[in-house]
Structures are given as structure tokens and as C-alpha cells.
Structure 1
């Protein structure tokens, strides 16, 4: 969304007077005369009745009125700016209907973009922008990711509590639209807790785990175990379930589900989707230690029929977590590479060994090229003497 500055040709005082007259004509309880206390008091009175314009049948008229209010707000130093802008933003979020909501959202977004980058008010306006954008189905146009959010507030630095509140709102509005982004938002939220207050993040941590497990595109889950609030859940069922998805096989999940069906469903998790993800995770684990897997091993370990093996392998390849090819004649799957489900000390050591071997090979190739170059120089010198 774009938020260009709003300019009017008349003075701020005359703008306020015109707005007073307009709202009075719509039946609002506001005097037509200017306030003797100045433009700030005028604006206070106008904001108090600004939602009366929602009854205006002409949407372009509504947009013009709201933009006029915005132009005044961003043009004067407001001693009571926070209260005024909060009141204005809250009233705009009550715009009825998605069509009018879109018009109002544009004005609210203009207000946000015309505030100074270091203004603490940007946070409050942005929060209401997300609320309204969620109502009109426009969140993805406003919020694109946690990196973008950091850039938005790099100059005004909201408090930890404010960011936690915003992350919770974003997770709430994203969880049914973009589960992957919702998971990233929740992980970011959990990262705001410290050792001192991590124990208070229990509800957030549970939501984070449930969202990540439900996301069909999230397979690498072991980083969640390192989050402080998640560590406080150790010993609880949700932590046990996460551990199964991080490092155990399908059979472990089936046992857990048989013993705790009600709990799994209470977390908003779909059993069949869980089984599908656990099959992929189990296959990844099998492929880590065995580059050639027979159809019999796959059907036994993953509890699928042989006729479904090829369709399953195609689904695995779509995730791009595993590279493999099927040999239908030999009834085997040959794995060329696979992503590790967990990345601990053993995987770091393996990566170190690979990099050391690569460095050694590069050195050997470099020395060989030097020898070839020296031989060519010597050969050329001998030919010149001859």
C-alpha cells in the first residue's frame, strides 16, 4: 500500500472550520465555530465525531474528509498527540463493511506513513492498521514479514510489551491465512522473552508449537526446543509431541495419538495431516543413514501400501528436503541428498569434515595447477633455446 502525503490549499484553521460545518450537517454534536483554544482543540472535537461520515453514501467524499483530518494531524505539533491519534485510529477501525473498510484503511495507512519515523505514535497506528486490514482481508499488503516489521520500527523502537502485543495480533490474523508466516511471527514473539520472564510465556509457547506442527510447509522444528519459553514446557504433553516431530518416527506419533487423542484435537491439530508430516519426517531420518531404501522398508516403516509408495515419494520431492530418484524395476529409492531433521553437534562435525575435505581438495588442485604451469613455462623456455 502507498501512503503519499496529503496537502490542502487552504489554511489548517479554515480546514478545521469546513470540517466542523460538514460534520454538523450530518447531525454530529459539534459547533460550527472555531474553538478559541486553537487548532488542537478543533481537531479534538472533530476526531470525536469523525465516524459520523461513515453514513455518507459517497465513498470518495468519505476518503476526502478523512484525508483532510490526516493532513491536519501531521501538520501541527500535538502535545496530546497520542490520545488524539489513538482516538482517531480506534474510530476508523469501526468502519462498517469491507468496501468502506478499504477506504478507511487507505486513510489510516496515510496517517501512519506521514508520521515521523521516530515517532512512538507509529506503533499505535500500525497496530490499528493491522486490525482493520484483517477485517477487510488486506493484511498481506501491509505486513510481509518480520524483517519488514523490524525496519518499520527501527527508528522508534516500541517497548518489548508493545511488540509482544503486536506479534500476538499478527499471529491471530495470519494463522488461518498464512500458517508459515504465522509460525515465524510466533517464534519472533517467543524470542522477546528472557530467562526472567520466560515462565510467563506458556500460552504463547503452546500456540507457537501448535502453529508450527500444523503448518504443512514447516519440517525443521528442532530450533523451537531452544526457545526459553518452550523449555519451560518440558514434561507437558505439548512438549512431548514436539519432541516426537523433532526426532522420532511415525510409530511414536501413532502411540502418542492413541493415548492422547483428545489432547491432539484440543490443540487444533488434524491427525491425518500430522501423519502425513510424520511420514515425510520419518523418511528424511531413514534417508540420512541409508542412501538406498527398498519399497519394503518404506511400506513397513511408514505404514503405507506399496501402491502408494511412488505417490508418497513424489510428495517428498515436492518439499525439496530430499533429492532422490525411484527405480521401479529394482523397487528401491536412491537418495542423493537429504536435509537433516535436527542439526546438533554431530551434524556440525559432519559439516566441518566436509568443509575441511573441500579445502584440502582445493589446495591440492591449486598445487597441481601450479605444477602444470611451471612445466609449461619450462617447456616453452627449452623450445626457445632450441
Structure 2
């Protein structure tokens, strides 16, 4: 891939021009000594580029950085790896959103310039994710989990580096408001731990639970309980709270909140949002047990008044976790479909029974159709 250069001059002169420009901006960078090679030049230049973030002219900033890339990209492989890592770290350590779009462009150029299948691309991709998290945007970055896993395989990363990529990907997705994709990545990350090292993922597991509970579009949590790092949290308040969201009721949550208000607030969860979600989850449990739910039961179990029921049921239907109709005359809600909050042995047995019944019904229908399709043989005349 060709990379745009800042000025069309020999490499050594180009490096000298970049040094002078950075010095003019106040960078603490020494003059190039006689006989200094390009690798040494770039080792001096790259850490000094932080002064560029205060330059108002974005085109000038992008031009300087692309010029550095044009010098860097053709260095020998053994030197290129270190320089790419240095460049990536320097571009990703800038605070907040300073020139974030430019930094993303430069890192993207570098990522494709070295070839995404090359191990050298690993630190560059990490830099991309860091800047994406700062900027709150993941446009033009590979974030599909399956594709990222292929990159990890191509790079033949260690378990530690694999986890680093997944953690950075999670943060970038979360800051870009891609909550469902972020949750999928975190589950993948936690799934990489074994019984031996699950305790090391305590913070990740805690963060995963909190962010899942806080996500307004996530209602099913039973899969989290099977993750080893989450199991390691058994006995802690966050695990108890997760269990309530998996299979508990409104009353269970209210009792927990009354006893641990400070904890709920300390982890950044909204009590009002928790109440909203627990009402929906409690309703789902009720709908599994009974296909006709009286208003009185809803009022009692969900702690809402009769005039709030219609709006509440509409909210439930919007989640696509249940379908039903309100019978205002009979003061009840008729359920036609509901999603199970947990899917364990009992649910598998129920599904197996339903499939067997469908198979029997289909066999019966097929037999009737075959009977109707048989040609009618006229009886012999007497």
C-alpha cells in the first residue's frame, strides 16, 4: 500500500525537515547527528510528535504523520516491529479526543500498510482500539468478533495478549454505545479463563455483570452464571444481585436493595432502571406459569397500579420477550408467547416433549394426506 509523503525529498532531508518542524513547536528533540541512520532518526522523532496535538491546522498534522509513516513503513522487519509499536503507543496515549480522527486515520494507514495478517499489526490494532474508545467511534475498524478471532489466530497471540485484545475491543465497543456487541466480547473474554486462572479475571467478571445489568436491552443473564470467573464471585454481593436478575422476583430485588442500597449505587447501577427491568423479568416468570394473568396479580407482584398496567404491557411487548393482549373487560392479560428467563434441564425436556408432539401430529397429517391421495378403485358391476 502506498502512503502519502509530507515532502518529496530524500529520506534524510525529510527526517531533518520533520525534526525542525517539531522543534519549532517546542518539542524536546535533539539535532540529527552525522551518520545517524533512519531507525535512530525515527526513534527520536516519533516520541516528539505529541506537540502536534496543539496545532490547529489538521491538514498539516496529518501531513507530518503520514510523512513519518512513509519513512517508517520501508524499514527492515526487525526494526519495523519496534517502530510500529512505538508509533502506536504514541498515537494512542494522547488524552481524550485530541485529533482522534487523524490518529485513527494514521493508525489505519499503518495497520493496512504492514498487512493485517502480520504479527506487527497486533500493537497497531491495539492502538486503534484505544483511540476508538477515547473517541467513542469504531467506524472503519474491524470489530466483528469472528473476524477479530481470525486476526488473533493469524498473529498466534499468547493467552495474555489475546485477552488484551478482547479487553480493548470490549472498551471500544462499550464507549461507542455498542452494548450488545460489547457484552458478547466480554463473555468471550471470560470464557477464555480456566479453573486455574479464573480468580485473575475477577475485575473483568465484575465489570461484565454490572454492564450487562445496566444495559437497557439485555434481559437474559443465566449464561453468565456458567462462566468460571463469574462462579469465582459466588458469595459476593454482585453475584447475589446477578442471581436475582436471573431467577428472582421484584420482592427479591427490593429486599436486596433495602439491605444494600450503598452497594447498588457504588457500582453505578440505577435503582429506577433496576426496578423497571425486574418488573419485566418478574412478569416473564408469571407468564410462563399462567397464560391468563389477572390485573390483581400484576398489581400485587409488580407493585404498580391498575392504570399503569396497559403502558407496562406495551413496554414488555416492545422487548420482544413476550406477546399478548390486554382484556380490559375481564381485567386480565392473555399471553400467547413468552421467553424463559433461564433455559435449563426442565426447559430442554419441555422442548423435547413439544417436538415429539409436533412429529406425531405431522405423521398423522401425512398419513391422512396419503390416504386421500390413493386412487379410488371402482367396484365391479354386478
Please name the residue that 1:188 is paired with. 188
- Distance, in Å, in 2 between the alignment partners of 1:330 and 1:285 is 21
TM-score, length of structure 1 as denominator length: 0.87
Does the Cα contact within 8 Å between 2:287 and 2:335 map onto a contact in 1?
yes
- Identify if the C-alpha distance between structure 1 residues 245 and 224 changes in structure 2 by more than 3 Å, giving closer, same or farther: same
Normalising by structure 2, we get a TM-score of 0.88
| Distance in 2 between residues matched to 1:15 and 1:225, nearest whole Å | 58
Q: Distance in 2 between matches of 1:34 and 1:300?
A: 85
Aligned to 1:288: 288
Match of 1:22 in 2: 18
The worse-fitting range, judged by mean Cα deviation, of 127-136 and 173-182 is 173-182
- Aligned pairs for 1:93-112 (under 5 A) are 93-95=92-94, 98=97, 100-112=99-111
Gaps of 5+ in 1: none
Measured after TM superposition, the shift of residue 171 of structure 1 is: 3.8
Conservation of the 8 A alpha-carbon contact between 2:206 and 2:238? yes
Deviates more, 1:211-220 or 1:140-149: 140-149
Give the structure 2 partner of residue 90 of structure 1: 89
2:352 matches 1:349: no
Shift of 1:354: 1.5
Q: Indicate the SS of the match to 2:10.
A: helix
Relative to structure 1, the CA distance from residue 341 to residue 193 in structure 2 (aligned partners, 3 Å threshold; closer, same or farther) is same
In structure 2, the residue matched to 1:328 is 328
Which residues of 2 match residues 152-171 of structure 1 at below 5 A? 152-171=151-170
1:149 match = 148
Distance 1:26 1:198, change over 3 A: closer
Output the CA distance in 2 between the equivalents of 1:48 and 1:233: 42
Deviations 1:150-196 (A, max 9, x none): 24434113222123233333444554634333322322221111111
- CA positional deviation for 1:144: 4.0
SS in 2 for 1:218: coil
Distance 1:87 1:328 in 2: 67
Unmatched segments (≥5 aa) in structure 2:
none
User: Number of paired residues?
Assistant: 374
Name the counterpart of 1:131: 130
Output the aligned Cα RMSD.
2.7
Residue 364 of structure 1 is matched in structure 2 by 364
**In the alignment, is residue 6 of structure 1 matched against residue 41 of structure 2?**
no
Change (3 A) 1:244 1:137: closer
- For 2:7 and 2:265, the matched residues in 1 are separated by 61
